[in-house]
Amino acid sequence: MTGKQRVVAAFSGKPTDRTVWVPFAGVHAGKLKGYNAYQVLTDIEALVSSLLEANRLYDPDGQPVVFDLQIEAEALGCKLLWSDRSPPTVVEHPLAEDYAIPTSVPGPADGRIGLCLEAMKRMKAEVGDRTALYGLITGPLTLASHLRGTDLFMDLILQPEKAVDLLAYCLEVARKMAEYYAGTGMDVIAVVDPMVSQISPDHFNEFLSPVYGELFSHIRSMGIFSSFFVCGNATRNIEPMCQTRPNGISVDENVDLIAAKKITDSYDITIGGNLPLTTVMLMGNQAENARAALDLIERAGDRRFMLSPGCDMPYDTPSENVIAIAQAAHNPDLARSIVQACENSATDSFDIPVEIPDYASRAFPLVEVFTLDSSSCAACTYMMAAAKDMKDIFGDRVEVVEYKYTVRENVARCRAVGVKNLPSIYIDGRLAWSSIIPSRNEFKAEIEKAIASHEV
Amino acid sequence: MEVAMSIFDDISLSLQTGKLKETKESVQLALDEKHSANEVLNALMDGMSIVGDKFKKNEVFVPEVLIAARAMNGGMVVLKPYLVSEGVKAKGKVVIGTVKGDLHDIGKNLVKMMIEGRGIEVVDLGTDVSAEHFVQAAQAENAGIICCSALLTTTMTEMKNVVQKAENAGIRNSVKIMIGGAPVTESFRKSIGADYYTPDAATAAEVAASIFATVKG
């Protein structure tokens, strides 16, 4: 099965050969290529190259193209404030004082919508045959709050007719955005509405049910899938959300995914989530990430579930953590044995003798690649391939070995060498790269330096 | 059997349902009936505390809290001159803001409203507040608590600077530092040496009230 087929199967309630994996790499994708949030969200080359790198490293079944909930707001005149490591923030709400609802919706060239469309077309051409691509649009409640500010919440009670009018306008924007994105070949339109967790089920039913029902029906009529992304504790709104008939719902760690899945299952809706963004993905280690993913996979079962982060990944999420999660989705048995080995390594006395090479006395540099298992982990495969490439270039002047973590002796070696993350490349016993796969030129330069030092 | 509703019940109920006009009228009526300003304040606080509890239990949401807080503010405008003349003082003072680089203030505003609902004075420093500003404001206002809010994983690390600056300024022993926001956790609090992490606005208000109760006690 291709990733795309897996996503289609999951949305259709059919079994998949392995857990469907949809990482949300927005600004984090930029980090993989050394771009800040502003660059990756405004420059087409930075954006596409970063998305392709995320696709290569994390081997996703589904992938959002642009994760920025300010696209529509910006096109409608909201002023944004940019920062280096997170998506921009809306700082001025045009309807805060004057409740003048705009009369026209943004065109395909307004703001950064053109950039999104171009990125979608290019990603479709590059990976669209195997990866299901997600076009993300800002949900009507969140867009309305960008336009109106916090007072929108009080409007629901104090001037409901105004709120209804504004949400009807935001629905029109969402319909149009869905059409633009569908036109580039997006497989899924995800409507992202974090504010939904901040209102009651009664308010959801009164204000959002008609809006969302119409939006998902519109997306359905275009022959593509829809997903409803929410952040925060949306527990009480899961059922009303289901009643608006999206194909999928994605939640974060504030929602008990297993309890919510009972509801989504009863509506034949696929649930996605909900790896903890901060405590696990940002601050945890590889083993903790693999364990969190495996735990979720085991509890959620193999139908109508997609493994995803709770929301857009933090910029600084260590890529090795995401790689560990990908490994759990791609090959849970192997990931389980790796987690086991990690846990044992804390207590295992390792009576296995590990011989650390005497690097300095060797005639040639030694490249040691520590992997989860290069035959099943995409990032490990690329890292090993990069090392083999050096062997092809330098021939007998360099030696390359792979240590797979699936072998107990290698676990002992990792501990002896002090390897913290997998995959990693060591040159003559010194850490050269961890998780990030070096470019050919970078790698060559390091090998040449190492050869020179051996010649001395 | 019919249970007679007291004027204090009227105040509490109209606040809970966010009825601004009724809240102001019942506050005025209670004062006209010669109830003490302190008793009226307790009725308002009782209403806000019930709203906070329901918010914590996911029974009411942001819109309901915002209009209840609006009603509370309306009641307070009527009550304030009476509090002043009776010499009723705030239970303590808090400075609050979102940390440097963070402009998301819905959560911060909810915390502010809930803390005010406990009869505590809140000095709102707004958004994008530097660590220095938090500390200087706490000193200038003689505040017992600094409350820091962050929505982003990239800005929450600023909270550590607030703790550090408070230490450098020599006020760490006289001020409690409370933190909160979507990505913040108890383990993060421990790692930066702040005093309290609270997961929601109602709990934040409870903790703030208990801090001042302890100080007074």
Q: pLDDT tens, B69-94?
A: 999 999 999 999 999 999 988 899 99
Instruction: Please determine, for residue B217, whether its predicted confidence score (pLDDT) is greater than 60.
Output: no
Contacts of A86 in chain B (CB under 8 A): 152-155
* Residue B187 binned pLDDT confidence (cut-offs 50, 70, 90): confident
- Higher-pLDDT residue of B151 and B34 is B34
* Residue B167 binned pLDDT confidence (cut-offs 50, 70, 90): very high
Q: Which of residues 223-282 of A touch B (CB under 8 A)?
A: 231-233, 235-236, 277-279, 282
Instruction: Please determine, for residue B131, whether its predicted confidence score (pLDDT) is greater than 80.
Output: yes
CA distance A367 to chain B (A): 35
Six-digit token pair at B5?
A: 């509703």
Six-digit token pair at B171?
A: 């006020």
Residue A209 to residue A265: CA distance in whole angstroms: 19
- B105: nearest CA in chain A? A150
Of the partner residues B60, B67, B187, the one whose CB lies closest to the CB of residue A158:
B67
Residue B65 to residue B73: CA distance in whole angstroms: 12
Instruction: Please determine, for residue B216, whether its predicted confidence score (pLDDT) is greater than 60.
Output: no
CA distance B58 to chain A (A): 8
Residue A211 to residue A188: CA distance in whole angstroms: 19
The closest alpha carbon to A335, from A306, A307, A295, belongs to A295
pTM for this model (two decimals): 0.89
CA distance B167 to chain A (A): 25
Of the residues B66, B149, B160, B190, the best mutation for testing chain A's interface (the one with the most A CB atoms within 10 Å of its CB) is B66
pLDDT score for A437: 84
- Taken as a whole, chain B contains a residue count of 217
Supply the DSSP symbol for A341: H
Question: What CATH number is given for A359-455 in this structure?
Answer: 3.40.30.10
Q: Identify the architecture of domain A3-338 in CATH.
A: Alpha-Beta Barrel (3.20)
- A154: nearest CA in chain B? B63
CA distance A382 to chain B (A): 30
Contacts of A88 in chain B (CB under 8 A): none
Of the partner residues B58, B153, B183, the one whose CB lies closest to the CB of residue A233:
B58
Q: Where are the domains of chain A?
A: 3-338, 359-455
* Residue B4 binned pLDDT confidence (cut-offs 50, 70, 90): low
Asked if residue A117 lies in contact with residue A180, where contact means CB atoms within 8 angstroms, the answer is yes
Q: Which of residues 149-208 of B touch A (CB under 8 A)?
A: 152-156, 182-185, 187-188
Residue A200 to residue A234: CA distance in whole angstroms: 9
Q: CB atoms < 10 A from the CB of A246, how many?
A: 28
Residues with pLDDT less than 50, chain A = none
pLDDT score for B215: 67
pLDDT score for B153: 82
Q: Which of residues 4-23 of B touch A (CB under 8 A)?
A: 18
Of the partner residues A85, A86, A203, the one whose CB lies closest to the CB of residue B63:
A203
Six-digit token pair at A160?
A: 């409901």
Of the partner residues B64, B109, B155, the one whose CB lies closest to the CB of residue A150:
B109
Q: Quick one: what percent of chain B has pLDDT higher than 70?
A: 97
CA distance A304 to chain B (A): 27
Q: Which of residues 124-183 of A touch B (CB under 8 A)?
A: 150, 153-154, 156-158
Of the partner residues B103, B105, B155, the one whose CB lies closest to the CB of residue A81:
B103
CA distance A88 to chain B (A): 10
One-letter amino acid of A288: E
Distance from first CA to last CA of chain A, Å, rounded? Answer: 52
Q: Look up tokens 């600004």; give the residue.
A: A27
Of the partner residues A85, A150, A199, the one whose CB lies closest to the CB of residue B61:
A199
* Residue B1 binned pLDDT confidence (cut-offs 50, 70, 90): very low
Of the partner residues B61, B70, B156, the one whose CB lies closest to the CB of residue A198:
B61
Q: Where are the domains of chain B?
A: 7-86, 93-216
pLDDT score for B3: 56
- A153: nearest CA in chain B? B63
Contacts of A91 in chain B (CB under 8 A): 103
| A209-266 pLDDT tens trace | 999 999 999 999 999 999 999 988 899 999 999 999 999 999 998 899 999 999 999 9
| Cβ-based contacts under 8 A for chains A and B | 68
CA distance A169 to chain B (A): 21
| A338-365 pLDDT tens trace | 888 777 776 666 677 888 899 989 999 9
3-class state of residue B196 by DSSP: strand
- A314: nearest CA in chain B? B153
Q: Taking the CA of residue A46 as centre, how many other CA atoms within 13 Å lie in the half-sphere pointing to its CB?
A: 15
CA distance A160 to chain B (A): 12
**ipTM greater than 0.90:** no
CA distance B35 to chain A (A): 31
Provide the CATH topology of domain B93-216. Answer: Rossmann fold (3.40.50)
Q: Do A279 and B66 touch (CB under 8 A)?
A: no
3-class state of residue A367 by DSSP: strand
User: Which segments of chain B does DSSP mark as H helices, in order?
Assistant: 7-16, 20-32, 37-56, 62-86, 106-116, 131-141, 158-168, 186-192, 201-216
Q: Do B63 and A315 touch (CB under 8 A)?
A: no
Contacts of B60 in chain A (CB under 8 A): 200
3-class state of residue A140 by DSSP: helix
Six-digit token pair at B97?
A: 């803001």
Contacts of B108 in chain A (CB under 8 A): none
Assess whether the previous peptide bond of A64 is cis (omega < 30° from 0).
Answer: no
Six-digit token pair at A54?
A: 């995320």
Q: Do B60 and A153 touch (CB under 8 A)?
A: no
Q: Which of residues 307-326 of A touch B (CB under 8 A)?
A: 314-316
Provide the CATH topology of domain B7-86. Answer: 1.10.1240
Q: Which of residues 116-145 of B touch A (CB under 8 A)?
A: none
pLDDT score for A339: 85
pLDDT score for A411: 85
Q: Do A154 and B188 touch (CB under 8 A)?
A: no
Number of H helices, E strands in chain A: 19, 14
